[in-house]
Structure 1
Amino acid sequence: MPRHLLLVLEGPLLAFGGEVVDARGVVGDFPTASLLIGLLANALGWRRGERERHARLQARLVFAARIDREGERITDFQTAQLGKDDRGWTTSGTPEERAGGPGTYAAPHIRLRDYDADKRVTVALRLDPAGEAPDLEALAAALESPARPLFLGRKTCLPSRPLLGGLVEAEGLLAALASLPPEPAVGLWRILLPATEPTLLGDERRWAGDLRDWHSGVHGGGRTVLIRHLAPPRPDAASDDRGQAAEAGTCP
């Protein structure tokens, strides 16, 4: 059976970036492919300029995401009076400098940023082809001992727990997700799946603009995904029944 890597994305604030318009930084319900690639690349110690590495890893990525706890959507109104000599913090340790003439800094910088507070999402991913470097074992090792600090969307969104949920062998993405159920399971799970997965009655097909063109440095691509509502297995269900039910999209 294929091996899958499990991630648990949980923190006081998460920001799964959406399509930004002007000064409004919106977020989506599910992590994007580009977010996961950036997270894994940061753990591996890759630099942003290593475009081919990022692009190849994104092309190999196959993943599903399950919302275990919805959290609360909040909007932060931010203002800052910035000067030319102000410096920005970066994970590389090198301060980020600013450019522009004196008039650039005459007015405060105003923006809105959305966040999800107290949210938890489980991700199951595999790589195709599996034997190419980096493999899942290399990714798991990097997440256990990351080369740089990791964050969940924005630098202020620090995880509240280790991200690595383990490596599992499972017949598919749903079975891999079912191997790490939330405690306690509340209501229906909302799950994002690749459009290549078998479709069930009630699945919603949605366009996700979550692919980054790593060569140009902008988000310039997307894909069709499935959104599925799935009842969690009963706490007293046998583990075998749980895996079969998750794979079939039903509750035992």
Structure 2
Amino acid sequence: MTLRWLHLRLAAPLMAFGDVAIDHVGPTRDFPSASALTGLFGNALGWRRADGAAHQALQDRLVFGALIARAGHLLTDTQNAKLEANDRGWTTWGRPDERAGATYDSPHRRRRDYLADHECRVVLRLLDVPDGPSLDALAQALDRPARPLFLGRKPCLPCARLVGGWVEGANARTALAALGLAGRALWPAEDGGGTRRDVADRRNWRTGLHGGSYPVCEGEIA
């Protein structure tokens, strides 16, 4: 059976597809995660961070593959900030983050990785359910988003229209091949071929924590 897939072009001077973060280090992967795509669509639709059920339902419906059309290079941003006793930090949980302890001599450090001059193509469809946005509604939201869109982190603004059109294919792997581009790609494991591995790309949108891994295959699209 031939299926219809939404084609996305993810290109920007800087982008970040967040990987598993440990301590102050925020790495990036080469391919977008299911949680990153869910967040992108949620932002375009005007959903709030508190709309966990809507985000979760959308993530559970996503079926996608991704291909690196242009491999960028890794750029690491090291941030150091000296926080005084009365300084507060913005948070996403509704109250400011305050320092504890009596010493303020050591700076607050964190490291964030970005992909510079990277371009990734995505083919995507949704599992059919009675409720929730349609694939056409998602495409329209990306063209007329409720809020400014970014690829991974807020400084990462796309440099071109995100919607690249539509392609057809029996599965994500054949839909990627229909783009007519060559490169390293990732697709669901049930499509077969390539090298199978698990990726930790799911988010539990109700708790805001890691939501599990998903089996994928990685290989070359000729």
One fold, TM greater than 0.5?
Answer: yes
Contact kept? 1:85, 1:97, Cα under 8 Å: no
The residue aligned with 2:107 is 108
Q: Distance in 1 between matches of 2:130 and 2:66?
A: 23
1:166–1:89 CA distance, 2 compared to 1 (3 A)? farther
Alignment match, 2:205: 214
Select between 213-222 and 136-145 the one with higher mean Cα deviation.
213-222
| Structure 1 vs Structure 2 CA RMSD | 2.4
2:192 aligned with 1:194? no
Please give the secondary structure, in 1, of the residue aligned with 2:213.
strand
1:151-189 Cα offsets, whole Å, 9 max, x none, are 11111111111111123343332343344345xxxxx51
More strand by share: 2
**Secondary structure in 1 aligned to 2:190?**
coil
- 2: CA distance, partners of 1:105 / 1:208: 39
What whole-Å deviation, never above 9, does each CA across 1:67-120 have from its counterpart, x for those lacking one?
A: 111111121211123455567599xxxx99543458586532211111111000
Offset of 1:65 from its aligned partner?
A: 0.3
In the alignment, what sits opposite 1:242? Answer: none
1:47 Cα deviation after fit: 0.8
SS of corresponding position for 1:225: strand
Residue 68 of structure 1 corresponds to 69
Aligned to 1:30: 31
Alignment of 1:3-152 (within 5 A): 3-82=4-83, 84=86, 97-100=96-99, 103=102, 107-129=106-128, 132-152=131-151
- CA offset at residue 31 of structure 1? 0.5
Q: Tell me, in whole angstroms, the C-alpha distance in 2 between the residues paired with 1:77 and 1:44.
A: 32
- What residue is the counterpart of 1:227 in the other structure? 218
What is the rounded CA distance, in whole Å, between the counterparts of 2:100 and 2:22 in structure 1?
Answer: 25
Which residue number in structure 1 is paired with residue 171 of structure 2?
A: 172
Aligned residues: 219
Q: Is the 8 A contact 1:37 1:58 kept in 2?
A: yes
C-alpha distance in 2 between matches for 1:156 and 1:99: 25
Q: C-alpha distance in 2, partners of 1:147/1:104?
A: 43
Q: Between 165-174 and 44-53, report the one with greater CA deviation.
A: 165-174
What runs of 5+ residues in structure 1 fail to find an aligned partner?
183-187, 232-252
Q: Distance in 2 between the 1:73 and 1:121 partners?
A: 14
TM-score, normalization: structure 2? Answer: 0.88
Q: Tell me the distance in 2 between the aligned counterparts of 1:224 and 1:77.
A: 32
State how far apart, in whole Å, the 1-side matches of 2:158 and 2:81 are.
Answer: 25
Measured in 1, the distance between the counterparts of 2:67 and 2:135 equals 20
Distance 1:191 1:104, change over 3 A: farther
Q: How far 1:10 sits from its partner (Å)?
A: 0.6
Q: TM-score if structure 1 supplies the norm length?
A: 0.78
Alpha-carbon distance in structure 2 between the residues aligned to 1:169 and 1:96: 47
Structure 1 counterpart SS, 2:47: coil
| C-alpha distance in 1 between matches for 2:217 and 2:90 | 38
